A and B are shown apart, each in its own frame.
Chain A
Amino acid sequence: MRIRIKFSKHGAVKFIGHLDIMRFFQKAIRRAQIDVAYSGGFSPHQIMSFAAPLGVGLCSNGEYLDIEVNSHQGREDMMSRLNEAMVEGIKIENIVALSDNAGNAMASVAAASYLVEWKLKAEKPQGLKESCHSFFAQKEIFVTKETKKSTMSVDLKPGIYAFEEKEEGIYLLVDASSSGNIKPALLLEAFFAYLNLPFNPNSIQITREDTFTRDKKGSLIPLDQAGENF
């Protein structure tokens, strides 16, 4: 049976990178004594798929991974075992069962929402509501992306689905698919440049609020809504 796990990541563990989080979960699942399925071959590994990788330094309320289990003793049992195996700052938020034809976590990702907060509330710029609005109203938002080989100019606008002020800061909903992923920091840099303000990435805290896939009708739904309670 395929299982989708939703977890959150806060505090000091935000400095643990994606690959290490994967390794962490492989061990946690064993500590929790989940009857997880392994691949075949000479060096079998747990069948596991993570949704969009989260950058170092970001917190999250909506991270996902899929595993496959041979047997289980119900959702509650699995939740509590897994939570026992976590560390301070990482918490299992939800577990759902996936149907056989549901796409895996990695392939299903379409978008992600983020909340941008100022570590010192006083540093939050004035008049954010209007500036967010006018920034988002632009026809195109070009940024220069630096890759190892070249720098190129890309238009982020088609991948931005929301960019608005919230009481805590800025809320954004952007493309997070493997082909069009937008890094929130890159977008914020463009925003600050637009405002003619210096951008200090250390003065803000970005939290991924959730990760989304598209349902049959094409609307964005959180990844755990693609599965069912069990």
Chain B
Amino acid sequence: MKEYKLALSDEILMQVEKPARYIGNEVNSIVKTGDEKVKIRYAMCFPDVYEIGMSHLGMKILYDMLNRWEDVWCERVFSPWVDLDKIMREKNIPLFGLESQDPIKNFDFLGITIQYEMCYTNILQVLDLAGIPLRAKNRTWDDPIVMGGGPCTYNPEPIADFFDIFYIGEGETRHREILDLYLECKEQGLSREEFLRKAACIPGMYVPMFYQVEYHEDGTIKEFGPIYEELPKKIKKEMVLDVSNTYYPLKPVVPFIKVTQDRVVLEIQRGCIRGCRFCQAGQLYRPVREREVDVLKKYALEMLKNTGYEEISLSSLSSSDYSQLEELINFLIEEGKEKHTNISLPSLRIDAFSLDVMSKVQDVRKSSLTFAPEAGSQRLRNVINKGISEEQIIQGSSLAFQGGWSRVKLYFMLGLPTETEEDIRGIAQLCNKVAATFFDVVPKEERKNGPVQIVASTSFFIPKPFTPFQWAPMNTKEEFIEKAYLTRSAVMEQINQKRIKYNWHEADTSVIEGVLARGDRKLNNVIESLYQKGCIYDSWSEYFKNDLWLETLAEHGLTTEFYNTRQRSFEEILPWDFLDCGVTKEFLMREWKQAVGEVESPNCRQKCLGCGAARYGVGVCKEPKTGGQS
């Protein structure tokens, strides 16, 4: 029998679902056992199940970067699934890194990427299973430095007590500095607190324990600021200036089991020129920075070779806006023919070019078209600045129907600011028009794949920090459900209603997500208490315990009304105001006023709106503008 080292016994691994989640050993995973150059052990965590975490690009980028450094060994760690979670608690098995299978507790750093609010209890699960005190203030040098990163750190306050450092912005820029500082402080025998105090002076680093908040009687913030003079009052996001010359994981880990994103992922650009007013990512990652197409071609070939994947997908917020898209896609199609690689296309704007590409890379009969108008009426689309018109949708689907497609997916949001019943009815009417278009342009004898099938989905709008809607009230659960019913009955009234299927997203999670998204420090106690009551995997509807969330909020004297449904004033100090994500508050206010005035704003290629991101001096801000509206 061959010896091997695993943190879990055979008995446990035979008992749990998908043991491959816990054994590491995948192709391209990095093992530095016995390497004397390694001075820092870094655990990179995605607080959800393996298959989700392994699909995340940001984590792969940082894993690759950290492991390129000789003195660092970065490993991966994910949330154990509920079956193993239970066993680990019963048997007191500490959480371990996949590569070495060593306990996380003995690592120097635990970096947690925080991609969605509903994973907050899983963060506590990871800390707890690792044996790390949940609260930063209770930790010693025996515990790893717990760092948070990712989109949720643009309002880190609801989880501020659980982190030593939040890294605000793109992870490539300051990690080396932090690690060097750490080594230096350890060598000099400084205290953990002294290290953190120095770390808090590195740009982009937010050390919550050194910041204090005071509240007004009504629960809003009275004052917020650092407790030491040398610390910045405002923390500016970190950003990669040259995205073509930076780290990229050309040898990503290839999981044994099927994961959500089971293919090579090529990030073609960062940021988005569009400025949809509901979209947080569109603001956070400004300005748009494109990768050079030659660099991307090289990356694509190399990654396909190093992983053996048969599929590659392009990643960005809006791939249609990538200026070299045609060249890149044609290259990949040509390569793919020779080497049997498929391209999975991100949702492109539907036009002649994208339809042509789609017909080359997928089976038209089986694939569907996707439109994301987000709102049912032109009026409301102007409010949210979603630059897509009914005409474009009808024209796009007409072209597509003629090309043989017959399935269409349409995505909308309910509960957008200023929404009326008319706007909601517009959703059903738009779906009906798309269906009618099919019958208009496809003669009976050519309807080989059966008649048109339309799937309309609505999600509930959740206002997010650093968007023009950050001050806006969110709907209540009751309003949401009423709106979903209205949408459904409006769909039923359409002539083509039999061709339209309507789905809506659950309202309960949206309410809690809303609370967490714009929450403040008071929520730390709530989250910890929920975790102690057994909540984990809240992002999985089968484990989300809505009643418990509401009950626990109430126990702490907090309400969903305070966080969600009240209108915030421009004067209010928002919990995330101490962060500078690149765009200014003045810009967001301007955009809010434009929204209420139902006025669209041009995109970054047409005209600069002076959002504030130009001070980074890169990307689209430096391009000449074309003028005009979108």
Name B12's closest neighbour in chain A (CB-CB). Answer: A202
Complex-state Cα separation, A208 to B409, whole angstroms: 49
Q: Is B2 an interface residue (CB 8 A)?
A: yes
Complex-state Cα separation, A30 to B19, whole angstroms: 26
Complex-state Cα separation, A43 to B310, whole angstroms: 11
CB distance from A59 to the nearest CB of B (A): 7
Q: Which residues of B contact A24 (CB under 8 A)?
A: 27, 256
Given known pairs A33-B305, A117-B1, A202-B10, the reply for A16 and B256 (CB within 8 Å) is yes
Complex-state Cα separation, A57 to B13, whole angstroms: 9
A20 with B256: CB separation less than 8 A: yes
Partner of B308, one of A16, A20, A31, A43: A31
Complex-state Cα separation, A28 to B256, whole angstroms: 11
Q: Is B24 an interface residue (CB 8 A)?
A: yes
Name A38's closest neighbour in chain B (CB-CB). Answer: B340
Name A32's closest neighbour in chain B (CB-CB). Answer: B308
Partner of A10, one of B2, B27, B363: B2
B363 with A42: CB separation less than 8 A: yes
A4-27 interface with B by 8 A CB criterion: 10-13, 15-17, 20, 23-24, 26-27
CB distance from B187 to the nearest CB of A (A): 35
Q: Which residues of A contact B10 (CB under 8 A)?
A: 57, 119, 202
CB distance from A41 to the nearest CB of B (A): 10
Q: What are the interface flags for B258-289 relative to A under an 8 Å C-beta threshold, 1 for contact and 0 otherwise?
A: 10000000000000000000000000000000
CB distance from A47 to the nearest CB of B (A): 12
Q: What are the interface flags for B10-43 relative to A under an 8 Å C-beta threshold, 1 for contact and 0 otherwise?
A: 1101100001100111110000000000000000
Given known pairs A16-B256, A23-B258, A89-B25, the reply for A31 and B306 (CB within 8 Å) is yes
A27 with B23: CB separation less than 8 A: no
Complex-state Cα separation, A163 to B103, whole angstroms: 42
CB distance from B87 to the nearest CB of A (A): 14
Interface of A is mostly: mixed
B25 with A13: CB separation less than 8 A: yes
Name B27's closest neighbour in chain A (CB-CB). Answer: A87
A12 with B305: CB separation less than 8 A: no
Complex-state Cα separation, A11 to B14, whole angstroms: 14
Q: Which residues of B contact A26 (CB under 8 A)?
A: 308, 310
Complex-state Cα separation, A26 to B27, whole angstroms: 13
Partner of A85, one of B14, B308, B342, B363: B308
Q: Is B492 an interface residue (CB 8 A)?
A: no
Q: Which residues of A contact B258 (CB under 8 A)?
A: 20, 23
CB distance from B63 to the nearest CB of A (A): 17
Complex-state Cα separation, A11 to B101, whole angstroms: 14
Name B255's closest neighbour in chain A (CB-CB). Answer: A20
Partner of A44, one of B11, B257, B340: B340
CB distance from A132 to the nearest CB of B (A): 20
Q: Is A29 an interface residue (CB 8 A)?
A: yes
Closest 7 pairs between A and B when the two form their complex, measured CB to CB = A27-B308, A11-B4, A30-B308, A15-B19, A31-B308, A10-B2, A202-B11
Please give 19 more A-B residue pairs, beta carbons under 8 A apart, in addition to A16-B257, A30-B305, A202-B9.
A11-B3, A11-B25, A12-B4, A12-B23, A20-B20, A23-B258, A27-B27, A28-B308, A29-B308, A30-B310, A42-B363, A56-B19, A57-B10, A85-B308, A87-B25, A87-B26, A89-B2, A119-B10, A207-B1
Give the A-binding residues of B (Cβ under 8 A). 1-4, 6, 9-11, 13-14, 19-20, 23-27, 254, 256-258, 304-310, 340, 342, 363
Q: List 16 A-B contacts (CB under 8 A).
A: A12-B23, A13-B23, A15-B13, A15-B19, A15-B23, A27-B307, A27-B308, A28-B27, A30-B305, A30-B308, A43-B363, A44-B340, A56-B14, A85-B308, A87-B26, A89-B4
